[in-house]
Structure 1
Amino acid sequence: MADMSAPRVVLVDASVYVFRAWHSMPDEFVDADGHPVNAVHGFLRFLLDLLQRTRPTHALVAFDEALESSFRNEFYPAYKANREPAPEELKRQFGYCRALAAALGLREMADPRFEADDLIGSALHALRPEGYRGLIVSADKDLSQLLREGDEQWDLARDTRWSAAEVHGRYGARPERIADFLGLTGDAIDNIPGVPGIGAKTASALLDHFDSLDALLERIDELPFLRIRGAKSHAARLREHRELALLSRRLATISLDAEVPGRAVDYEVAAVRGDLLDPMLDQLRVGPITRRRIADWSASLA
């Protein structure tokens, strides 16, 4: 049984919440120079909610900077090519969000080759030997592949949490087989192709029987004899699209090799940097209620 008293690092998939704020917050939020900052205001509220509810001692706020320059694009140029590039005004707001996270005393990171998922996975991998368990703040199913005993994932917007043991019931595969699962089904959001004609239900049944994509491909001759609807045609698809399945799994696998700080002390929540934060709050025209919440957070760290 997991030791729930073990130290915890809070790992935030920040870009998801910046985009959510961009779409949900009204355009009336502008900074002192008249530039839109609606996403910044929404993200700051999210971050303060998170800090208030988790009171982290160790944290990482990871941002995506690699949507067009990820190492995955090097071997599959179509990766995420279906996404519209972020508008310039939103790109500008990402800079504010990163600066706010740092000024609030949080370790923040982005990388031109590694996505936020990779930074989160690499940080958690680095901290496990020190006994840390992770609380991953994101609704993204890809990140569930990182969950192990003692870890949790939290969709803060829906206030829904799940553990490693609950991943199969939620998505149809165990955490360590999520990438195999996506190798079969693909992922339209990330433009990962998968195997044509294999959906989530079939992929789940295949992995439950064979345990892994590798075992499935090695024992593909068994597939036509299984009590799985369309088993014979699925075997033919897998023979034809074997390399596509392996490529898709590679695309869906979170890297644990990003260059991130490797010690728990590197993720300790620090004191609020008022010298950096106060000018930003003025520039962003942040109101008294939010400033009071920041002051309360700062006081709790003393």
Structure 2
Amino acid sequence: MKQRVWLLDSSIYIFRAWFSMPDQWHTADGMSLNAVYGYASFLCDFVKRTRQSPWLAAAFDESLGSCFRNELYPGYKASRTLPDEALAFQLRACRTLTDLCGIPSYGGERYEADDYLATLARLARTKKLSTTVVTRDKDLGQLLVENSDQWWDFASDQTLDRAAFQARFGVPPDQFADYLGLVGDSVDDIPGVPGVGAKTAAAVISSLGGLDDIERNIDSVAALPLRGASRIKDRLQEHWPQALLSRELARLQSEIPGLENLPEFHLTAESTERVANYLDSLGIGGPLVKRWQALGAEV
């Protein structure tokens, strides 16, 4: 059995905690800590389940508005607003406690967390490692390259492999960027092709292949057994540059400059104690700190 690398999409679980946890934990000067509490609780459970592997890394989204994708398309994620100081404080605190735990973590102004995870997954393949990406984000299904790779939402304990991902979306992971090129993504403000929905996009790709194949055989679209096939062909031709741009926005960058080695992770009693002390310094004590201390005692 292949060894496995665990790649954590940290930001998505921080925001999950931010929106779902009650606002009942605060610093001495009144800053909210609900996201920190929820993320620290999640991280403790996650590390406990995966600590036997020497391969674990995390990535954080820190590029809203400054990502290279905004140079390609200024409207990319334009509907999102930058975190206010209260949320920015908690985002920084969550990255700090991840670092204190000893988990190699990545983030920056030019590349998104997905790109760091894609680069780490590529490096894992050079070591013949299977990849589990821990996320709730469908875009990271693109990392399912080998049959042993997994997409795992820790919160719901739902796991997808390549076959299950294709069953859900109608296209294999390696064609998911092409799929998003057609349907777009309102969450990320990726336009896609107007009037082309999920079922139509999956059917066209299943019949003709990715966007490059569709472009070479565009007249064949009108002959597909789809309702309004001729209109679909016309829409594709009219909005083809937009489809190609949307695919480029959706495609993950797997060669971030300077990220050339897959880091190792080893949980220690010292690192769990650092996390416990940091939480206590913020004003979070009680059961959560004791859980981190108990985790350290198991190492």
* Shared fold per TM-score greater than 0.5: yes
Check whether the contact 2:56–2:104 (CA below 8 A) recurs between aligned residues.
Answer: yes
Check whether the contact 2:97–2:275 (CA below 8 A) recurs between aligned residues.
Answer: yes
DSSP 3-state at the match of 1:190: coil
Matches within 5 A, 1:1-302: 5-55=1-51, 56-148=53-145, 149-259=147-257, 261-264=259-262, 266-271=263-268, 272-273=270-271, 276-301=274-299
Overall identity of the aligned pairs, in %: 40
Residues 46-79 of structure 1 show CA distances to partners (whole Å, capped at 9, x for unaligned) of 1111112223421111100011111000111100
The 1:109–1:298 alpha-carbon spacing in structure 2 relative to 1, beyond 3 Å, is: same
Using the alignment, how far apart are the partners of 2:28 and 2:114 within structure 1? 33
Residues 7-39 of structure 1 show CA distances to partners (whole Å, capped at 9, x for unaligned) of 111111111111111111111210133211111
Cα distance, 1:281 vs. partner? 1.9
Amino acid at match of 1:190: D
Cα distance, 1:137 vs. partner? 0.7
- My pick for the range that moved more, 288-297 or 75-84, is 288-297
Using the alignment, how far apart are the partners of 1:180 and 1:195 within structure 2? 11
Using the alignment, how far apart are the partners of 1:151 and 1:8 within structure 2? 9
Using the alignment, how far apart are the partners of 1:260 and 1:273 within structure 2? 26
Using the alignment, how far apart are the partners of 1:269 and 1:87 within structure 2? 34
Cα distance, 1:88 vs. partner? 1.5
Using the alignment, how far apart are the partners of 2:27 and 2:124 within structure 1? 38
Structure 2: gaps of 5 or more residues: none
| TM-score, L = length of structure 1 | 0.94
Check whether the contact 2:135–2:153 (CA below 8 A) recurs between aligned residues.
Answer: yes
Cα distance, 1:263 vs. partner? 3.0
Cα distance, 1:270 vs. partner? 4.3
Check whether the contact 2:273–2:296 (CA below 8 A) recurs between aligned residues.
Answer: no
Q: What is the total number of aligned residue pairs between the two structures?
A: 296
Across the aligned residues of Structure 1 and Structure 2, the Cα RMSD in angstroms comes to 1.5
Check whether the contact 2:276–2:293 (CA below 8 A) recurs between aligned residues.
Answer: no
DSSP 3-state at the match of 1:189: coil
Cα distance, 1:139 vs. partner? 1.4
Cα distance, 1:275 vs. partner? 7.3
Residues 250-289 of structure 1 show CA distances to partners (whole Å, capped at 9, x for unaligned) of 000010011364334x232343436743542222222232
Using the alignment, how far apart are the partners of 1:297 and 1:258 within structure 2? 34
Using the alignment, how far apart are the partners of 1:133 and 1:61 within structure 2? 16
Cα distance, 1:123 vs. partner? 0.6
DSSP 3-state at the match of 2:171: coil
Residues 127-164 of structure 1 show CA distances to partners (whole Å, capped at 9, x for unaligned) of 21111111111111100011022110111222110101
Using the alignment, how far apart are the partners of 2:202 and 2:276 within structure 1? 51
Amino acid at match of 1:14: S
Check whether the contact 1:127–1:263 (CA below 8 A) recurs between aligned residues.
Answer: no
Check whether the contact 1:26–1:38 (CA below 8 A) recurs between aligned residues.
Answer: yes
Using the alignment, how far apart are the partners of 1:10 and 1:172 within structure 2? 26
DSSP 3-state at the match of 1:188: coil
Using the alignment, how far apart are the partners of 1:108 and 1:270 within structure 2? 14
Check whether the contact 1:65–1:112 (CA below 8 A) recurs between aligned residues.
Answer: yes
